[in-house]
Amino acid sequence: MRYSISDTSLPHIVVVGGGFAGLAAIKKLNNKPFRVTLLDKHNYHTFQPLLYQVASGGLSADSIAYPFRRKTGAYPNIRFRMCSVESVDLENKKVITDRGAFAYDILIIAAGAQTNYYGNAQLEKFGLPLKSVPDALNLRSFIFQEFEEALLEAREADIKKRMHFVIAGGGPTGVELAGALAEIRKKVLPNDYRELLAQHMEVTLIEGNARLLSGMREKSGNLAKKYLEKLGVQVMLKTMVKNYDGSTLQVDGRDDILTDNVIWTAGVQGVQLAGIDAAAYGRGKRLLVDAYNRLQGREDVYVLGDLALMHADSNYPEGHPGVAQVAIQQAHHVVSNLLRSRKQLSMRPFHYKNKGSMATIGRHRAVVDLPRISFGGFIAWYIWMVIHLMTLVGFRNKFIVFVNWMWNYITYDRALRLIIRPFRTKTGDA
């Protein structure tokens, strides 16, 4: 049977957010007995694990972004609307957007997470985030602008200040970006900027915990540190950022760091939606959900991915990690439960099945945590590439990324060193 978006007898599901959870949900809802509307402020899905490669000139933005309509256009019971969600009216069962209100029978909130500056307005003003495609393009422009500006500086101190890149946050994004910048210093700088000395470019990675990659096993964190230091990255552990004024970075227990470039990957928090009571939020501004991913106190509202905080999974009593696999598994599980409910069957609680995690640190270096083993090196790097190629959305994107990676591998050349739109953090103008 073929279901239609125009069949008003079907229950209407509104999905807020087209990240990993939202996209997995609509794919699973294709031609199922529901009408579905996907809402997102962008018209594309972002493959966030590869944002750092866009920022460092290794990939083009369109190779990690996938238009929603390429999916929804083929799904008879699903439509997409590009709009920004302003609030949720739980009592009247409506989602209020800048393009009008959308009534729902079932609401799936998969709005994801946003950068957390922990209330520091200076860091928010001057720090460079990396959570979206526009962020990655801004950062790419800014990196190569700094090289161009360094060529115009007369004083060595000013050159070093422009070429000192500090990354705050030792999670996968911070570790991978630090490795990418270290490879730019090694391969791009000597060829493209021969008037600059490679030793003037510094890459510093700051982490508040005692080790890197705190979401992975200790062995992986230690290996990542070893690989980064071999690439010439200065790793500062047990170090908390205090403030940044666009020129001087203040950290606890250490001398101030003079730099024009602070890249903030140190924290995320859930996207807050107006209309949902503050008591519904838990740690990290994530919404508290029951064992079925339902918003506490509501049977018609489900929360998925980074925004969901579940204590009912006995293996993860403090909540699930903010990774793509959690979001995808929760989306599949919720849709399965909705279909069971349609058949008058009882719903099943969610339990996350950890398939492993990984991070790459430059050429031939990566770390992989599988359920029973951790390892690093070339094999881990190869596995990282294969897994990411497999999980990219769309054949075109897989092909483009593969070709780019092969070109980079053979030539050591990051070809996308374009300053398309100059970016200035101090004014906020792009």
Q: Which residues pair with 294 in a beta bridge?
A: 302
8-state DSSP, 345: P
C-alpha span between 424 and 247 (Å, rounded)? 13
C-alpha span between 141 and 162 (Å, rounded)? 14
Query: How many Å is the maximal CA-CA distance in the chain?
Result: 75
C-alpha span between 311 and 300 (Å, rounded)? 19
Do 304 and 21 contact (CB within 8 A), yes or no?
Answer: yes
C-alpha span between 426 and 406 (Å, rounded)? 37
Do 29 and 123 contact (CB within 8 A), yes or no?
Answer: no
C-alpha span between 278 and 256 (Å, rounded)? 37
8-state DSSP, 320: -
Residues 6+ apart with CB under 8 A from 157: 258
Do 307 and 108 contact (CB within 8 A), yes or no?
Answer: no
The answer to whether the Cα torsion of 239, 244, 247, 253 is positive or negative is negative
- Does the annotation count 176 as an active-site position? yes
Give helix 172-183 / helix 218-230 axis angle, nearest 10°: 20
Beta-strand pair 261-264/128-129: parallel
- Which tokens is 115 given? 């950068």
Measured in degrees and rounded to the nearest 5, phi and psi for residue 231 equal -80, -5
C-alpha span between 304 and 361 (Å, rounded)? 29
C-alpha span between 324 and 306 (Å, rounded)? 9
* Catalytic position from the list 176, 183, 202, 207: 176
Q: Which residues are catalytic?
A: 176
